[in-house]
Amino acid sequence: MGTAAQLLVRCLENEGVEYIFGIPGEENLHVIDALLDSPIQFVTVRHEQAAAFMADVYGRLTGRPGVCLSTLGPGATNLLTGFADANMDHAPIVAIAGQGATTRMHKESHQVLDLVKLFDPVSKYSVAILEKEIIPEVVRKAFKVAKAEKPGGSFISFPENIAAMEVGEEVLPLKVQGPMAPYPPQVKVEQAARVISAARFPIIMAGNGVVRSHACEALIRFVEKLGIPVATTFMAKGAVPFSHPLCLGAIGLQAKDYVACGFDRADVVICVGFDMVEYHPFLWHPRGEKKIIHIDQTYAEVDSKYMLEAGVIGDIAISLDRIAELSCRRENVSTATLKEYIMAEQECFAADSSYPLKPQRILCDTRRVMGDDDILLADVGAHKMWIARLYSCEKPNTCLISNGFAAMGIGVPGAIAAKLVYPGRRVMVITGDGGFMMNSQEIETALRLKLPIVIMIWNDQGYGLIKWHQERRFGRSGFVDFTNPDFVRYAESFGAKGFRVERAGDLLPVLEQAFACNTVAVVDVPVDYSENMKLTGKLGNLICPV
Ligand SMILES: Cc1ncc(C[n+]2csc(CCOP(=O)(O)OP(=O)(O)O)c2C)c(N)n1
Ligand SMILES: [Mg+2]
């Protein structure tokens, strides 16, 4: 005999859960108490939103659902943003919230909200445990659904009176069975191969589905066998190494960019594991004249600019290998010009000594201190756009960008989760001063867990990306400026290290020092965002090399 809460925890252990991120509350007391006897490590955080972001990044890096826990009402509403981010970025996540007793859920009652309804639009599965016997089924289904392509969120509401009930020994966790991707139908493989063989200038767009399905090596084989150039979305950076001669770089800026020039020329676009939420087809396919081949585990979203010539649904690696077998190789596709532009842009600012620092210079130095396996997280803002364009990756999941829901505040909690998953790698977050202040409280969590991470703040005293949009659209800006605390002293007040970069040439040694101090280090970097509008001007006048 044990309580329903203990059964829930046994079911979570059965799913292989290592960590639960969250905050204890009155209505989840039984679950918290049951966790005291469990090998699962509970990570106490300082804001539920951060718990959800940690679960989000944990899910993205491991492919296993990250788990977060809150109390009812305000605890659960705080979880919502990070949870929605995971759901829309297709990271597997399971959130569990305490709930008022079933005897008071039907009426106005302290902190009670209909949580199943609240999470319904941002989840794949949202359910309340209203009978103790269903716990094994609910937990198994929540994990199965969250993990299945395309991954996303499962939410479980757990009323306090059910959690406290006694459950018989005969109710046991269910056997964990992973969903298997089906084999692609041969007729579709042949159809895709015919279109590719007949193409004049095919191009591949690789999305995060390639990374999720562990199909990066198959993609590289496909690219090399057929000689077709490949661009990745922001979230799929590193799916093909940037240094690969057929890799064009990352695409996704709303404006035209060098990589997009390849798309202009293409008559066939092969989308592999592409999540439409990242880069809408009307941005890269406005006239709808190209032939699209969709290779994914799930059916294509219906969109007037994404009408398929062939759709190959099944295990992505198997689909790629089979299509490659039947398709003709392309010779002499020159991709050099496009990549050269990006590389030239990176190099030309490598020694730029202006101050405040230019985004290009900062990213150059950042790339130098980060090894191929180290992990850079971007928060959301103008800095993210620069990272997405210019930070080149050799390996997948080494630059984490939220590009679906794009929620500010993911960076600091995300870095904590990344360091938990990969303690042996350097983990750095680049965040705006706006996004940093949304979850900077988690510095305390990182220190408590003894997780050394480097937090680099691009200090422009404002909501830079919005200012950029305002200038671009209306030629003026407003309501986007603010002042900051002294970030060095702020860091020190937590017991972390604080650094301020006062000359461009100091950035590299300061970053090395920040990693060497082996604790949480905050690096305040004044940034020159006049480069934003210069980039807009440059890309606005962009004429694609032929
Ligand atoms: C939670 C949330 N609120 C608002 C936005 C809209 N938004 C996107 S970027 C941005 C400004 C970001 O400012 P900052 O963090 O300082 O980064 P910067 O653009 O200056 O690099 C805002 C308000 C968002 N994406 N997420
Ligand atoms: Mg800013």
Q: Tokens at residue 225, please?
A: 């066998």
pLDDT for residue 257: 76
- Residue 155: is its pLDDT beyond 90? yes
Q: Which residues pair with 270 in a beta bridge?
A: 204, 293
Residues 285-333: tens digit of each pLDDT: 999 999 999 999 999 999 999 999 999 999 999 999 999 999 988 776 6
Contacts of residue 372, defined as CB under 8 A and 6 or more positions apart, other chains included, come to: 393, 394, 395, 398
d(CA 250, CA 232): 5
| Rounded distance from Cα 167 to ligand 2 centre (Å) | 52
> Cβ distance 56 to 86 under 8 Å?
yes
Nearest CA to ligand 1 atom 10: 381
Span 424-439, average pLDDT: 98
pLDDT for residue 315: 97
Closest-lying ligand 1 atom to the alpha carbon of residue 406: 25
Residues 425, 369, 531, 208: is their CA dihedral positive or negative?
A: negative
For the residues of 138-163, what is the DSSP string, one character each?
A: HHHHHHHHHHSSSP-EEEEEEEHHHH
Span 118-141, average pLDDT: 98
Terminal Cα-to-Cα distance of the chain (whole angstroms): 73
pLDDT for residue 338: 61
| Rounded distance from Cα 329 to ligand 2 centre (Å) | 47
- Residue 499: is its pLDDT beyond 90? yes
> Cβ distance 206 to 273 under 8 Å?
yes
Site to substitute for ligand 1 among 49, 461, 465, 479, most atoms within 8 A of C-beta: 465
> Cβ distance 394 to 372 under 8 Å?
yes
| Rounded distance from Cα 340 to ligand 1 centre (Å) | 31
Closest-lying ligand 1 atom to the alpha carbon of residue 463: 13
Coil, helix or strand at residue 99: strand
- Residue 511: is its pLDDT beyond 60? yes
pLDDT for residue 185: 97
pLDDT for residue 334: 62
Single-letter amino acid, residue 148 = A
Span 524-534, average pLDDT: 96
pLDDT for residue 341: 75
Percentage of residues in the chain with pLDDT exceeding 90?
Answer: 88
Kind plus residue range of the DSSP H or E element containing 340: helix 336-348
pLDDT for residue 97: 98
Identify the residues whose C-beta falls under 6 Å from ligand 1: 379-383, 406-409, 432-435, 458, 460, 462-466
Closest-lying ligand 1 atom to the alpha carbon of residue 409: 1
| Rounded distance from Cα 380 to ligand 1 centre (Å) | 6
Closest-lying ligand 1 atom to the alpha carbon of residue 438: 1
Percentage of residues in the chain with pLDDT exceeding 70?
Answer: 97
Residues 247-295: tens digit of each pLDDT: 999 988 877 777 777 788 899 999 999 999 999 999 999 999 999 999 9
Q: What are the C-alpha distances in Å from 128 to residues 79, 125, 135, 378?
A: 16, 10, 10, 34
- Residue 390: is its pLDDT beyond 70? yes
* SS3 per-residue string spanning 212-274: HCCCHHHHHHHHHHHCCCEEEEHHHCCCCCCCCCCEEEEECCCCCCHHHHHHHHCCEEEEECC
- Residue 545: is its pLDDT beyond 70? no
| Rounded distance from Cα 403 to ligand 1 centre (Å) | 13
Order across the sheet with 41-44: list the strands: 41-44, 19-22, 66-70, 93-99, 153-159, 125-128
Single-letter amino acid, residue 496 = A
pLDDT for residue 299: 95
Residues 33-43: tens digit of each pLDDT: 999 999 999 99
Span 467-496, average pLDDT: 97
Coil, helix or strand at residue 294: strand
Span 80-93, average pLDDT: 98
Q: How confident is the model at residue 336 (pLDDT cuts 50, 70, 90)?
A: low
Kind plus residue range of the DSSP H or E element containing 432: strand 427-432
Closest-lying ligand 1 atom to the alpha carbon of residue 433: 16
d(CA 166, CA 169): 10
pTM of the model: 0.97
Nearest CA to ligand 1 atom 9: 381
| Rounded distance from Cα 261 to ligand 2 centre (Å) | 30
Pairing of strands 166-167, 2-3: antiparallel
Site to substitute for ligand 1 among 408, 430, 470, most atoms within 8 A of C-beta: 408
pLDDT for residue 348: 79
d(CA 27, CA 31): 9
Mean pLDDT of the chain: 95
| Rounded distance from Cα 31 to ligand 2 centre (Å) | 39
Site to substitute for ligand 1 among 433, 463, 480, 525, most atoms within 8 A of C-beta: 463
Nearest CA to ligand 1 atom 8: 381
How many residues are there in the chain? Answer: 546
φ and ψ of 172, to 5 deg: -125, 155
> Cβ distance 355 to 506 under 8 Å?
no
| Rounded distance from Cα 484 to ligand 2 centre (Å) | 10
Q: Which ligand is nearest to the CA of 437?
A: 1
| Rounded distance from Cα 519 to ligand 2 centre (Å) | 24
Coil, helix or strand at residue 338: helix
> Cβ distance 280 to 253 under 8 Å?
no
pLDDT for residue 342: 73
Judging by beta carbons within 10 Å of its beta carbon (0-12, 13-18, 19+), is residue 4 exposed, middle or buried? buried
Look at 181 and 419; give whichever has higher pLDDT. 419
Q: Which ligand is nearest to the CA of 380?
A: 1
Contacts of residue 505, defined as CB under 8 A and 6 or more positions apart, other chains included, come to: 353
Nearest CA to ligand 1 atom 4: 408
530-540 helix and 464-474 helix, angle to the nearest 10 degrees:
50
| Rounded distance from Cα 402 to ligand 2 centre (Å) | 17
258-265 helix and 336-348 helix, angle to the nearest 10 degrees:
170
Residue 169: CB atoms within 10 A of its CB come to 8
Q: What are the C-alpha distances in Å from 212 to residues 65, 315, 439?
A: 12, 11, 27
Closest-lying ligand 1 atom to the alpha carbon of residue 431: 15
> Cβ distance 530 to 471 under 8 Å?
no
Residues 126, 26, 18, 442: is their CA dihedral positive or negative?
A: positive
